[in-house]
Structure 1
Amino acid sequence: MILEMVKSEGISHNSYVIGSKGELAVIDPRRDVDIYLELSRKYDSAIRYIFETHRNEDYTVGSLELASRVDAEILHGPHMDFKYGNAVIDGDSFDLGSLELEVMETPGHTMESITLVVRDKDISNDVYLVFTGDVIFAGEGGRVDFFGESKTPSMAELLYNSIHQKILPLGDNVLIYPAHGAGSVCGADIREQEFTTIGYEKKTNPLLQLKKEEFIQHKVEEKLYTPPYFSKMEENNQKGAPLLGCLPESNPLNPEELVDLMKNEVQVVDIRKPTSFGGGHIPRTLNIWKEGFPAYSGYFLNYEDPIVIIDDNEGHIPEVVRYLVRLGYDNIYGHLSGGFPSWYMAAQMVGQLDMWSVHHLKDVMEKEEDIFLLDVRKVNDYEKFRIAGSHHIWVGDLPHKINEVPRNKKVVVYCDSGYKSTTACSILKNDGYDDVSSVLGSMGAWLNASYPVIK
């Protein structure tokens, strides 16, 4: 049996290639599909089927892109009006060499969610593994809030039934391969574990210890964020995203060309780390560090204005282009040739961001200086513990809640470690806030210094 997990870092998405005896299936492919073609060549096997476990919300699925390159059928659940592919229903089965893939309808996360049940018929008729999509993860269950507050209880009940009536009875030894890992926005608290088993989840997954009523109440009370780009993903993944043919190229721009471009509507994103951005950056740019780019760009970038990337000329542009493609951004325009050094060597204007240590913040607070201390962590983290006197706005909500931040005070921003706080500061500066500072190390450094928090 062939089984490969393909990870998309940043959005914690897992797609899979499974097959036997010269035939393959791909489950939940991403949009940059070259990896699946490489695996097809590696195993000298043809891709026959492309399964979608549900209409994904957090990335643009690559089913149409892949099907345009290979002779494969696209298959997904029946309870959504997809504009491409074919619907499968409970009990449908598909052969791949010695493998049988059986469809189980498992609604809850979405109505059309399916689970793929895999048996290796050359060895046994017993179930070997399941691809569960967003129904169940390691230590967590899928979110159920995409259809509005009024429908959350009924979706939670469907999810409970799918898990307890369909997945758990398959057997304790059955392997679970979910569509997401730790850090995904598609689950509240997914464990850092690539795969798990039904038996292990029955023992360790907190949600599986709850009775139905408790499970539903827990899901109703979950506080999860829905990035604005999700609506674009839902559209792409129901109607089908435009075909790429190949990955787009990023146009190299010299400083003078970028200056001219910035006279119009353009989205310039600096992907360097907070300390680099603080030391010097192009004015009116947004800072999202490279490793956080897949998770946070969808909160701030639109799908119309051209996108330009700034780095330190370290060769990260192709990687960032992939990140953008996976999120459905086809408005990639270019990057600053030579990176930020080419900007200051051309004697262009350079902005800076004031960076505070936690010790300086503590001193200022003890002197009772008049500052607005802004916590941009997730609300669950803020409610667990926070610095006294801080105000909360999740960094992803800052653009449309920016008027809650006073313009007549010094604004000091902290997060978990100083990365999201610098993103927040770049948003504030671009909106005309001049006196802003980011706290280096933020809450992590504050706790390491044994400074007090409110719980």
Structure 2
Amino acid sequence: MLFERIVSEGLAHNSYIIGDEEKAAVIDPRRDCDIYLDIAARNNCTITHIFETHRNEDYVIGSPGLAHRCGAGIFHGAAMDFAYGNPVHEGDVFTFGSLSLQVLETPGHTEESISLVVRDQKSGRAPYLVFSGDTIFSGDIARTDFFGDARKEEMAKKIYDSITEKILSQGDGVILCPAHGAGSVCGGEIMDRPYTTVGYERATNPFLNIGRGAFVSARKMESHYTPPYFRTMERYNQDGAPLHHSPVLRMLTVSELEEFRHAGCQLLDIRAPADFAGGHIPKSISIWRGGISSFAGWFLNYKDPIILIDDFNQNIEQVVLQLFRMGYDNFAGIAAGGIMAWYKSGREIGTTGVCSVKKLNEQLDNSSPFVLDVRDIRNRRAVGHIRDSHHIYVGELPGHLHEIPTNQPVFVYCDAGFKAGIAASILAQNHYQGVTNVLGGMTAWKQAGFKIEH
């Protein structure tokens, strides 16, 4: 038997390959699909089936590209009109040697969501594994807010029934293999565990220890952020994304970079926030490496070419892959020689301020700065906030710039300083002067013992 989980860091996406007797299936593949072909080849298997548990919102589905490479059939839920592949229905069974995969229709996260029950005929007919897609996670369940407030109650009821009537009924010992792990935007508080079981979730998942009415009420009250790139992912994943291999970026000289900059390219600086603050190419946006998957989709468009800026351009291909998985294909290149080449050229350098929480506390005691909190609202409510601070979530900042004064210093904070670095770069792009990133953010403020308001 072949079984392997493939993790895409950043997006916290899990895909799987499973097979037996020289036939294999891939569940929820990512866009850069060489890894599935390599695994199949090492195990002397042919990929014959590709299953999509749902139309994803946070990354480009890899099924069309993988099918193009290996000739496998694509299968997905019947409740959505996909432009490719084949619809499946409740009870459909697919066999791979001694293994069988049975389809469960599990709507709620999306209308066409399915789960796949795995049985091994050598061990009897009892199920032992379920690919649960985005229906149930470890310690959490999927979002049900993608259809707007008018359908929140309806979708909450659907996902509750899908979980309790179909997945939990498989038996407590059954292993659950979800499509996302901790950090994914498709859940709220997903636990950092690679696998879980029906019994463990029944006993510990907070959403499964309440009745249907309380569950639906809780889901109706939930609030999530939806980055604008989700709309592009939905369109790509329903109609089929362009078939591209992972891009190989060319190195740009300083002169070429300057030319592209004036032509309207998007300059993405992936260094740490403090490094960006000390000196950057004007008009660039700061998103640190670890934040690409969570925040690039809020700020980067799909029309203008992207230029990557780093210190030493080490392992930059991982950043390219993360963007590629989110549908970004239009790259102009990488700044050759990193930011230092720009410094040495004598061209204009932009800066933003940084300070400690001690400095901000002194400013609040002695003057009237504008303090901007760019954390998500759940963090602000749970942890508290610095006095006199104004809240605008970092992803929504471009649409709320009119709320920020241009005639006084702006101190930006988040939980540690990374999201505040993004916000500071956006303000700098829009000609705000005197912008300061409070390094350490709320974590440092609390550690210093300064007053926290709720």
TM-score by length of 1: 0.98
| 1:101-116 matches, cutoff 5 A | 101-116=101-116
* 1:276 alignment partner AA: D
SS in 1 for 2:333: strand
Match in the other structure for 2:342: 343
Match in the other structure for 1:237: 237
Match in the other structure for 2:201: 201
Given the alignment of the two structures, is residue 428 of structure 1 paired with residue 427 of structure 2, yes or no? yes
Given the alignment of the two structures, is residue 82 of structure 1 paired with residue 68 of structure 2, yes or no? no
Match in the other structure for 2:264: 265
Match in the other structure for 1:399: 398
| 1:41-52 matches, cutoff 5 A | 41-52=41-52
CA distance in 2 between partners of 1:448 and 1:20 (Å):
54
Tell me the C-alpha RMSD between the 2 structures.
Answer: 0.9
Match in the other structure for 1:326: 325
Unaligned regions of 5+ residues in structure 1, if any?
Answer: none
Given the alignment of the two structures, is residue 379 of structure 1 paired with residue 377 of structure 2, yes or no? yes
Match in the other structure for 1:419: 418
SS in 2 for 1:163: helix
The Cα shift of 1:237 comes to: 0.3
Match in the other structure for 2:361: 362
CA distance in 2 between partners of 1:161 and 1:435 (Å):
53
SS in 2 for 1:262: helix
Match in the other structure for 1:164: 164
SS in 2 for 1:128: strand
Count of aligned positions: 453
CA distance in 2 between partners of 1:121 and 1:315 (Å):
48
Match in the other structure for 2:123: 123
Cα contact 1:144–1:156 (8 A) shared by 2: yes
CA distance in 1 between partners of 2:451 and 2:70 (Å):
59
Worse-superposed segment, 274-283 or 388-397: 274-283
CA distance in 1 between partners of 2:203 and 2:408 (Å):
51
SS in 1 for 2:18: strand
CA distance in 1 between partners of 2:38 and 2:446 (Å):
46
Superposed CA offset, 1:205-259 (max 9, x none)? 0000111111111111111000100000000000000111x22121211111111
CA distance in 2 between partners of 1:25 and 1:406 (Å):
56
CA distance in 1 between partners of 2:38 and 2:404 (Å):
50
Superposed CA offset, 1:364-392 (max 9, x none)? 1122x111100000011112211111110
* 2:411 alignment partner AA: V
Worse-superposed segment, 345-354 or 177-186: 345-354
Cα contact 2:181–2:191 (8 A) shared by 1: yes
* 2:142 alignment partner AA: G
Match in the other structure for 1:20: 20
CA distance in 2 between partners of 1:42 and 1:397 (Å):
46
CA distance in 1 between partners of 2:445 and 2:24 (Å):
51
CA distance in 2 between partners of 1:42 and 1:273 (Å):
39
SS in 2 for 1:276: helix
CA distance in 1 between partners of 2:184 and 2:246 (Å):
24
The Cα shift of 1:314 comes to: 3.4
SS in 1 for 2:123: coil
SS in 2 for 1:278: helix
Cα contact 2:156–2:219 (8 A) shared by 1: yes
* 1:250 alignment partner AA: L
Match in the other structure for 1:448: 447
Unaligned regions of 5+ residues in structure 2, if any?
Answer: none
The Cα shift of 1:5 comes to: 1.0
SS in 1 for 2:396: helix
Match in the other structure for 1:222: 222
Match in the other structure for 1:132: 132
The Cα shift of 1:176 comes to: 0.5
SS in 1 for 2:69: coil
Match in the other structure for 2:29: 29
Cα contact 2:134–2:141 (8 A) shared by 1: yes
CA distance in 1 between partners of 2:190 and 2:369 (Å):
36
| 1:139-154 matches, cutoff 5 A | 139-154=139-154
Cα contact 2:20–2:96 (8 A) shared by 1: yes
The Cα shift of 1:398 comes to: 0.4
CA distance in 2 between partners of 1:276 and 1:259 (Å):
20
Worse-superposed segment, 219-228 or 444-453: 444-453
Match in the other structure for 1:293: 292
* 2:342 alignment partner AA: W
The Cα shift of 1:277 comes to: 0.8
CA distance in 2 between partners of 1:5 and 1:427 (Å):
37
Cα contact 1:188–1:222 (8 A) shared by 2: no
Match in the other structure for 2:40: 40
The Cα shift of 1:188 comes to: 1.2
Match in the other structure for 1:247: 246
The Cα shift of 1:317 comes to: 2.4
The Cα shift of 1:316 comes to: 2.9
SS in 2 for 1:258: helix
Cα contact 2:65–2:243 (8 A) shared by 1: yes
TM-score by length of 2: 0.98
CA distance in 2 between partners of 1:314 and 1:262 (Å):
19
Cα contact 2:352–2:434 (8 A) shared by 1: no
Worse-superposed segment, 131-140 or 36-45: 36-45
CA distance in 2 between partners of 1:214 and 1:230 (Å):
29
CA distance in 1 between partners of 2:163 and 2:36 (Å):
30
Cα contact 1:103–1:115 (8 A) shared by 2: yes
